[in-house]
Amino acid sequence: MDIAELADQIATGQRRALARGITLIESGRKDHRAKAAQLLDALNKTGREAVRIGLSGTPGVGKSTFIENFGMMLTGQGQRVAVLAVDPSSARSGGSILGDKTRMDRLSRDPGAFIRPSPSQTHLGGVARRTREAVRLCEAAGFDVVLIETVGVGQSETVVAEMSDLFVLLLAPAGGDELQGVKRGIMEMADLILVNKADGDLKAAATRTCADYSGALRLLRKRPQDPGGFPKAMMVSALDQSGLSEAWGEMQQLTAWRKEHGHWGGRRADQARYWFEEEVRQTLLSVLETEAVRAQLQRLGQAVAAGELPATVAARTLLDDLKRG
Ligand SMILES: Nc1nc2c(ncn2[C@@H]2O[C@H](COP(=O)(O)OP(=O)(O)OP(=O)(O)O)[C@@H](O)[C@H]2O)c(=O)[nH]1
Ligand SMILES: [Mg+2]
């Protein structure tokens, strides 16, 4: 595979090449990792940047419907939109977006859009690193907006927020007066809360829920990266396509303010540093994943358990062997 050629094809926006590049990035093979690094390096020179939007929400809240209609609105304005996903369960399910193509039927056929399911990796760390690299490829390919979807069921919001410029939380109208058990930590990451399904019978509940969240957001500690009025809660109906252009308007306003005040670049720099350290950590850990090392771990582990070797000595033995290769 000629990496320089692949880089050129991606930089000229060829979707097949982009898909091939992402496949390369997702591979765990050692030679592929080296090539992926070359590819990322080559594409860094394009200097292109998209608006990276992280989107999280519990199952059934309307993420797919939102992405379909929000994405179509943007492509209708001439923007190119890429959709990626971080799904820690994708190793088993084959990726949420993929099983979902029917719900993003129009967007998946739109020449201005590119949809890619979550990479299948066994752990969240692996999925996240590869998705973060896929974001870079999409940017280099000239996409204006990259949406990164995740199902809000725990840790995955944090890693998606770590690769996004804007983090959007999609919520459903609450039945009662409870705040749907959204964890404080997740609330604190949100730049925009969208209360979805503000239509028909759910409209009144959505209005109450939105007011509740607006109140809750005002109680959070003020963040330096926010202009007055942010983070903000608003109502949308992904299904009826209402509130979508207003939501985009808010995102653009926030983007412009952060760029003007240095928070945009500052956040990206912090994130780049974070992913660098994460890559080092994960790559070191992956050294333990070979057959030989696993066998040695097992052997030494037994010796330690049987009291034949102190844990410290066993660990040093293994690490010294590793260093010697
Ligand atoms: N009334 C109403 N229903 C909606 C709206 N958005 C989505 N739905 C419905 O909610 C259900 C779930 O929508 P999806 O878009 O599949 O939700 P999701 O968050 O992608 O769900 P998972 O992929 O399972 O996590 C579907 O039946 C949608 O038609 C909305 O704005 N209003
Ligand atoms: Mg979905």
**Is the previous residue joined to 111 through a cis bond, with omega within 30 degrees of 0?**
no
The reply to whether ligand 1 has any atom less than 6 angstroms from the CB of 103 is yes
- At residue 287, the pLDDT reads 86
Q: What is the pLDDT of residues 175-218, one digit of tens each?
A: 655 555 677 788 889 999 999 999 999 999 999 999 999 999 99
Atom number of ligand 1 nearest to Cα 59? 25
Q: What is the mean pLDDT of residues 152-178?
A: 84
The reply to whether ligand 1 has any atom less than 6 angstroms from the CB of 173 is no
Residue 283, pLDDT > 70, answer yes
The reply to whether ligand 1 has any atom less than 6 angstroms from the CB of 96 is yes
The reply to whether ligand 1 has any atom less than 6 angstroms from the CB of 64 is yes
* Ligand 1 centroid – CA 300 distance (Å): 51
- At residue 56, the pLDDT reads 94
Task: Categorize the per-residue pLDDT at 155 as very low, low, confident or very high, splitting at 50, 70 and 90.
Answer: confident
Phi first, then psi: what are they for 180, rounded to 5°?
Answer: 50, 25
The reply to whether ligand 1 has any atom less than 6 angstroms from the CB of 239 is yes
Atom number of ligand 1 nearest to Cα 61? 19
The reply to whether ligand 1 has any atom less than 6 angstroms from the CB of 75 is no
* Ligand 1 centroid – CA 172 distance (Å): 9
State if pTM tops 0.85: yes
Atom number of ligand 1 nearest to Cα 200? 1
Task: Categorize the per-residue pLDDT at 95 as very low, low, confident or very high, splitting at 50, 70 and 90.
Answer: very low
Query: Which residue minimizes the CA distance to atom 6 of ligand 1?
Result: 62
* Ligand 2 centroid – CA 64 distance (Å): 4
Residue 264, pLDDT > 50, answer yes
Task: Categorize the per-residue pLDDT at 17 as very low, low, confident or very high, splitting at 50, 70 and 90.
Answer: very high
Cβ(97)–Cβ(83) below 8 Å? yes
104 by DSSP, 3-state: which? coil
Cβ(317)–Cβ(297) below 8 Å? no
- Please provide the DSSP assignment of 162-217 as one string: TT-SEEEEEEPPPSSSS-TT--HHHHHH-SEEEE---SGGGHHHHHHHHHHHHHHH
